[in-house]
Amino acid sequence: MADERLFCFGLGYSARALAARLKGQGWTIAGTARTIEGCAELIAMGYEAHLFDGTKPMDDRGLAALMAAGFVLSSAPPFNDDPDDGLEAGGNDPVLRHHGADLADFASCPSGAVRWLGYLSTTGVYGDHQGGWVDETTPPTPATDRGGRRVLAEQAWLGLRAADGQGLPVHVFRLAGIYGPGRSPFDALRAGRAQRIAKPGQVFSRIHVDDIAQVLMASMARPRAGAVYNVCDDLPAASSDVTAFAADLLGLGPIPEIPFEQAQLSPMARSFYADNKRVANRLIHDELGVDLAYPDYRAGLCAILDAEGARAG
């Protein structure tokens, strides 16, 4: 799939993992950042950069880059408001609010240039299942306002497909907790900010950023318009177990647990503990043929530490 073009709304942490792989295969990558400084950072990485902060549409140059892409990815989160313009006009999704009409025109283009469109959502749409398993057939029952906004955004993106199956080839990816280089328990431990929080029975699903890229590439190679995929590893686990394992790898010794009620957490961090579920990922294995590089947090954390050692050496 060389000589292809990918356009990313929000070329951030997860999207960059995909972009780096595709760039190495000869793809042209274009994407957006919310600030001039962010655009400069993308340019330094060898990507085309376009300013888009969600408050107004891109300029003509950005729109031209979008319309030239055969593959489009959106990782832009929903707005925190409840706009009056409604779901049909883009609702709480900044991309659809400002470029929904452009994308609709894109879908009706005779050339049918776009072959795959991905939207990065979250497993938070499932809400709380008291530690039980959920899969893609489980109806979303978000427990937080943030999860509710994601459900609306998913519906808006999937709504770009017509009832007869025509329209944009939209795919939704519900990501579990993301970790990877520069965004792992090691960083919090080294900074002295790590807390080993104990909440009996609480588990989380997670996914290494490189495996997100792998899943997206597998879907791009085998598109199924309207598909929804859970993107997580094979082992849901308590956050206290993950922190303890990371601390042991760093040779820090045992870290005492802190009861959840006593933990120092931001309102957003505390809200994550409102959901308790195990997320099934069989569909990415069976349909997309994905063999995760990091099937559990132990493999992922060991790889991050090994890579740090290799760079230091």
* CB 294 within 8 Å of CB 210: yes
Q: Give the 3-state secondary structure of residue 114.
A: coil
Question: Which regions of the chain are under pLDDT 70?
Answer: 1-2, 81-91, 107-112, 162-166, 310-313
Strands (E), 1-132: 5-9, 28-33, 48-51, 71-74, 116-122
Q: How far is CA 100 from CA 22, 114, 207, in A?
A: 26, 14, 29
Structure tokens at 185: 């328990």
- Alpha-carbon distance of 288 to 286, in angstroms, equals 6
* CB 63 within 8 Å of CB 57: yes
Rg (CA), the chain: 20
**pLDDT at res. 310:** 67
* CB 126 within 8 Å of CB 116: no
Residue length of the chain = 313
Q: Give the 3-state secondary structure of residue 270.
A: helix
**pLDDT at res. 79:** 85
Q: What is the pLDDT of residues 5-37, one digit of tens each?
A: 999 999 999 999 999 999 999 999 999 999 999
Task: Please name the residues in contact with 230: beta carbons below 8 A apart, sequence gap of 6 or more.
Answer: 123, 134, 135, 136, 174, 176, 279, 280, 281, 283, 284
Q: Residue 28's beta-bridge partner residues? A: 5
Q: Residue 208's beta-bridge partner residues? A: 179
* CB 245 within 8 Å of CB 301: yes
Task: Please name the residues in contact with 191: beta carbons below 8 A apart, sequence gap of 6 or more.
Answer: none
Where on the phi/psi map is residue 167: left (φ > 0), alpha (ψ -120 to 50), or beta? left
Which domains are seen in the chain, by residue range?
Answer: 5-179+207-233+278-294 (3.40.50.720)
Q: What is the pLDDT of residues 73-85, one digit of tens each?
A: 999 999 875 544 4
Burial bucket for residue 124 (CB in 10 Å: 0-12, 13-18, 19+): buried
CA atoms within 13 A on the CB side of 117: 27
Which residue has tokens 């031209």? 64
Q: Give the 3-state secondary structure of residue 215.
A: helix
The pTM of the whole model exceeds 0.75: yes
